């Protein structure tokens, strides 16, 4: 059983699209995505510097466009062709981390590529405005006793905005509180500041929820064509309307990727394919999903391995049965 995982913000890096744009189909997908978002995504993926692509309004559309274009490359689907039939035949489960949920919604058929790109453009810009209102940020907390880590976050007025599993929690809040926490971390815990513009998935993002909800109201979502997991609690989503509602609300609520991975394990997932720019989610899977084969799509050199993974693990009847029960 194959899960396609879509990475979240922070996975981007300068020049990440340079080798990809040598593929005509990928370049066409990025060009089309740029037209929808109004951003020069090809330039942002090749020549823009780290500070430029750290901007939430740039990073989020760039990540969703990259994920969808790389899936098209893996499945050999043209930029102007619908993904639906190819995904339904070869993918069992879709999940995305944070902004990756919009890419996953497109993978599952809840949104079209263009709808996902239009919504992520609103999401990124709205979250950038919300982040600018107060100096906030996020830090990864690696290791330590889970209860002690959560207690320390609470004592500093911080929120566990991402609970990723594998001993990783992402703290979010004001820069002052994050600095105080990093100066006196829990025993055996390491704190690493993340290159993001604000305290995502906290109350600081509430204004962005309202903006995204208004944009989402113009979309008529489709039913999930494969099992689609939500960051809210890791469960399978039973309708397109519910999926879209959860994606909107998630902007100001914690990401429970640990629970998404627990559901993958319960479903019997045997392989995880992380779309471009891959690496983070496969790393988490290796620590928390023993026995699950992983491939991270980072460059075109990974396409053969990705296609082989799809060929060997896709099309499980278990996923189809699960989807029938949740529909």
The tens digit of pLDDT for each residue in 126-157 reads 999 999 999 999 999 999 999 999 999 999 99
Q: Give pLDDT, residue 188.
A: 97
User: Can you tell me the mean pLDDT for 50-60?
Assistant: 95
Asked if residue 152 lies in contact with residue 141, where contact means CB atoms within 8 angstroms, the answer is no
Q: Give pLDDT, residue 321.
A: 37
In the chain, what percentage of residues exceed pLDDT 70? 96
Q: Give pLDDT, residue 127.
A: 97
Does pLDDT of 177 surpass 60? yes
Q: Give pLDDT, residue 67.
A: 98
Write out the two tokens for 109.
């058929």
CATH number of 134-193: 3.30.70.250
Does pLDDT of 323 surpass 90? no
User: Can you tell me the mean pLDDT for 254-264?
Assistant: 98
Read off the pLDDT of residues 79-118 as tens digits, 9 standing for 90 and up: 999 999 999 999 999 999 999 999 999 999 999 999 999 9
* Alpha-carbon span 106 to 90, nearest angstrom: 15
Among residues 44, 97, 156, 201, which one is catalytic? 201
Phi, psi at residue 14, to the nearest 5°? -60, 135
Among this protein's residues, is 204 annotated catalytic?
no
Range 2-131+203-326 classified under CATH 3.40.366.10: yes
Domain ranges of the chain: 2-131+203-326, 134-193
Among this protein's residues, is 239 annotated catalytic?
no
User: Can you tell me the mean pLDDT for 27-47?
Assistant: 98
With cut-offs at 50, 70 and 90, classify the pLDDT of residue 316: low
Does pLDDT of 324 surpass 70? no
CA angle 179, 182, 185 (to 5 degrees): 145
Write out the two tokens for 182.
């990093």
Residue 106 CB contacts under 8 Å (≥ 6 apart), including other chains: 64, 68, 83, 112, 113, 115, 116
With cut-offs at 50, 70 and 90, classify the pLDDT of residue 327: very low
Does pLDDT of 319 surpass 80? no
Q: Give pLDDT, residue 318.
A: 41
> pTM higher than 0.85 for the full model?
yes
More confident residue, 316 or 278: 278
Does pLDDT of 322 surpass 90? no
Among residues 98, 139, 156, 313, which one is catalytic? 98
How does the average pLDDT of the chain come out, rounded? 95
């Amino acid at each position: 059983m194959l899960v396609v995982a879509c990475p979240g913000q922070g996975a981007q890096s300068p020049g990440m699209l340079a080798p990809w744009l040598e593929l005509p189909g990928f370049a066409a997908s990025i060009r089309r995505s740029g037209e929808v978002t109004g951003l020069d995504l090809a330039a942002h993926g090749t020549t823009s510097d780290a500070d430029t692509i750290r901007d939430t309004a740039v990073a989020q559309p760039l990540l969703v466009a990259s994920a969808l274009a790389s899936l098209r490359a893996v499945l050999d689907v043209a930029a102007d062709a619908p993904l639906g039939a190819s995904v339904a035949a070869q993918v069992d489960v879709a999940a995305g981390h944070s902004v990756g949920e919009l890419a996953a919604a497109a993978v599952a058929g809840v949104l079209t590529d263009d709808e996902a790109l239009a919504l992520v453009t609103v999401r990124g810009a709205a979250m950038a405005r919300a982040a600018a209102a107060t100096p906030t940020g996020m830090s990864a907390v690696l290791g330590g006793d889970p209860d002690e880590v959560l207690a320390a976050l609470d004592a500093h007025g911080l929120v566990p905005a991402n609970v990723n599993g594998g001993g990783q929690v992402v703290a979010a809040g004001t820069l002052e509180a994050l600095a105080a926490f990093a100066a006196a971390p829990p025993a055996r815990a390491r704190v690493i500041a993340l290159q993001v513009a604000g305290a995502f998935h906290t109350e600081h993002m509430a204004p962005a929820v309202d903006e995204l909800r208004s944009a989402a109201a113009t979309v008529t979502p489709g039913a999930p064509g494969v099992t689609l997991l939500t960051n809210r609690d890791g469960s399978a989503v039973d309708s397109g309307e519910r999926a879209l509602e959860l994606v909107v609300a998630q902007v100001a609520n914690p990401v429970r990727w640990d629970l998404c991975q627990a559901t993958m394990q319960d479903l019997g997932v045997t392989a995880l394919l992380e779309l471009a720019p891959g690496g983070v989610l496969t790393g988490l899977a290796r620590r928390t999903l023993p026995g699950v084969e992983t491939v991270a799509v980072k460059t075109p050199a990974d396409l053969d391995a990705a296609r082989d993974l799809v060929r060997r693990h896709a099309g499980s009847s278990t996923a189809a049965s699960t989807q029938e029960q949740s529909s």
